[in-house]
Chains A and B, each alone.
Chain A
Amino acid sequence: MIKQRRTGLRVICFLVVVALYAKFLWDTEVSILKLKRGLPWMADFMVRMFPPDFSVLGSALKGALQTLEIAVVGTTLAALLALPLGFLSARNIAAPGVFYGVRGVLNLFRSIDTMVYALFFVAAVGLGPFPGVLAVVVYTAMSLAKLCSEAIEGIDTGPVEAITATGATRLQILRYGVIPQIIPLFISYILYRLETNIRAAAILGFVGAGGIGFYIQTYLRMMNYRAAACVLLILVIMVMAVDFASSQIRKALI
């Protein structure tokens, strides 16, 4: 039997959604007029950035390198943590108690962004790139672990059965039956995270956690827009270079 359409209910749902959305627009003070009034200021800002001041190129490159280092070190350490955590939070591998526990912890830590962890770690271990690395590690490990566990849950059980049947130990079964199936996917997740972590690490400097963000913030505060433009330019080039390299590696993997 075909369900009867409840048109009345649909109309009410639609009106409620529209009303809520209108309230959100109102609350967030979204206004095209304000945007229009702001346009000249934006233009002014842009004009003041030109031409970029390349005398600060040295600092820009130093900051960019540190951002890259924070992202690479943070992402790789996170990946090392994520693999075992992924196994412990995979429904088809871990015991139910372990699975629910680890999943819960992952979801808890994943609901807070890298930047918030940076504030926390700066307070804990002081200024510099190290709190930045810690912040990247915590968030990235949790999100990679989640993706890893989903990859593990999606594997073909055939090879696992076959390896089990050879008399392999449980670790050998994971190593030969499971890991070969998830490794291409896992590496491509790591590369995606590296790309997003470069962007995240670029603003970690705003809260004193190292990298290029420190220079962006400093020059903007000093209203030295031309210097800030130089730093931003270097950031854009670095992000694009990393994105390109990572997409090439990912292509080679498939």
Chain B
Amino acid sequence: MIMLRNLCKLYPPDTVALDNCTVTIAPGEFVMVIGPSGSGKSTLLRCVNRLISPTSGQVIVNGLDVTAATREQLRQARRGIGMIFQQFNLIKRASVIDNVLAGRLGYAHSIASLFGYFGSDDQAIAQKSLQQVNLLELANRRADTLSGGQQQRVAIARALAQHPKVILADEPTASLDPNLTRVIMDILKEVNSSQGITLMVSQHLIDVALTYGSRLIGLQSGRIVFDGSPLQLTETIIQQIYGEM
């Protein structure tokens, strides 16, 4: 469960990235966050695992107050929250399997992992995650030799290797063509329905958001202006979110 309470994020001197956002997301929901560029989608997602610390307000994930957590508590909380990014953010020069193993860093023996050593159970989990995105045969390829769609699948495998309860996806398909968009979104949907992982996905394409989301959150200038099912999203509300088109 994710609870965001009165979340505000200010960037001095006068940028308001998030303005009093309050949302509660139940386990297993597939939430699409929509809104124009600069509306605060990325900031909202990054507040959940505190890659960005909110200026005020509270974030509670799986019962832990992330905003008040110690460094160690935050680390443990992050283990349970996978994240994927628009730019994939793989370690380019490392192999595919090593990239997936990075998803185990939060669980691995900290000194051994600094020398690149992971236990056999971590290895097995990484392989299984890679299998889930159908890329096991490319395990030993260097990550930057893969296509964009494949790289994003590796990134999903890395998130899955964390055995997360929640996956945050920040514009996961914005660098991909429509076909690959469907492939990636299908994988996320599958992960959501078969493993019950809660998904919070920002998406600038309305039709994709409508197809995949069980719930939509509309942001505009850092404020939540819509929160409901895809059926409730009317043309007027879309216009309200995106302004005059």
Instruction: Tell me, in angstroms, the Cα distance from A164 to B53 when the chains sit together.
Output: 14
Known: A167-B76, A167-B79, A168-B106. A162 touches B89 (CB 8 A): yes
Known: A162-B83, A167-B79. A172 touches B49 (CB 8 A): no
Least Cβ distance of A175 to chain B in Å? 5
* B182 in the interface (beta carbon within 8 A): no
B111 to chain A: closest residue by CB: A171
Main secondary structure of the interface of B (DSSP, over half): mixed
The answer to whether A168 touches B105, judged by C-beta atoms less than 8 angstroms apart, is yes
Least Cβ distance of B124 to chain A in Å? 17
Known: A162-B158, A172-B110, A176-B102. A167 touches B78 (CB 8 A): yes
The answer to whether B114 touches A166, judged by C-beta atoms less than 8 angstroms apart, is no
* A40 in the interface (beta carbon within 8 A): no
Q: Which of B78, B82, B114 interacts with A164 by CB under 8 Å? A: B78
* B22 in the interface (beta carbon within 8 A): no
* B113 in the interface (beta carbon within 8 A): yes
Q: Which of B88, B105, B155, B158 interacts with A167 by CB under 8 Å? A: B105
Q: What residues of chain A lie closer than 8 Å to B83, measured between beta carbons?
A: 161-162, 165
- Chain B contributes a number of interface residues (CB within 8 A of A) equal to 33
Instruction: Tell me, in angstroms, the Cα distance from A155 to B88 when the chains sit together.
Output: 15
* B237 in the interface (beta carbon within 8 A): no
* A81 in the interface (beta carbon within 8 A): no
Instruction: Tell me, in angstroms, the Cα distance from A89 to B104 when the chains sit together.
Output: 29
Instruction: Tell me, in angstroms, the Cα distance from A82 to B93 when the chains sit together.
Output: 22
The answer to whether B85 touches A167, judged by C-beta atoms less than 8 angstroms apart, is no
* A163 in the interface (beta carbon within 8 A): yes
Known: A172-B113, A176-B102, A176-B105. A165 touches B91 (CB 8 A): no
* A180 in the interface (beta carbon within 8 A): yes
- With a 10 A CB-CB cut-off, give which of A163, A166, A181, A184 has the most chain B CB atoms: A166
Instruction: Tell me, in angstroms, the Cα distance from A172 to B103 when the chains sit together.
Output: 11
**Number of contact residues on A: which range applies?**
20 to 34
B102 to chain A: closest residue by CB: A176
Q: What residues of chain B lie closer than 8 Å to A184, measured between beta carbons?
A: 93
Known: A166-B106, A166-B158. A159 touches B91 (CB 8 A): yes
The answer to whether B162 touches A166, judged by C-beta atoms less than 8 angstroms apart, is yes
The answer to whether A166 touches B93, judged by C-beta atoms less than 8 angstroms apart, is no
* B187 in the interface (beta carbon within 8 A): no
Write out, one digit per residue, whether chain B residues 83-120 have a CB within 8 A of any chain A CB (1) or not (0).
Answer: 10101111111100000001111110010011000000
Q: What residues of chain A lie closer than 8 Å to B75, measured between beta carbons?
A: 167-169
Write out, one digit per residue, whether chain B residues 39-73 have a CB within 8 A of any chain A CB (1) or not (0).
Answer: 00000000001010000000000000000000000
Write out, one digit per residue, whether chain B residues 137-167 have a CB within 8 A of any chain A CB (1) or not (0).
Answer: 0000000000000000001001000100000
* A158 in the interface (beta carbon within 8 A): yes
Q: What residues of chain A lie closer than 8 Å to B158, measured between beta carbons?
A: 162, 166
The answer to whether A164 touches B51, judged by C-beta atoms less than 8 angstroms apart, is yes
Least Cβ distance of A165 to chain B in Å? 4
Q: What residues of chain A lie closer than 8 Å to B93, measured between beta carbons?
A: 180, 183-184
Beyond A166-B82, A167-B162, A168-B106, 9 additional contacts (C-beta under 8 Å) are A159-B91, A161-B51, A161-B83, A166-B79, A167-B75, A167-B106, A176-B91, A176-B102, A180-B93
Question: Can you spell out 6 A-B residue pairs with CB atoms less than 8 angstroms apart?
Answer: A163-B102, A165-B82, A169-B75, A171-B110, A176-B105, A181-B91
A→B interface (CB under 8 Å):
158-159, 161-169, 171-172, 175-177, 180-181, 183-184
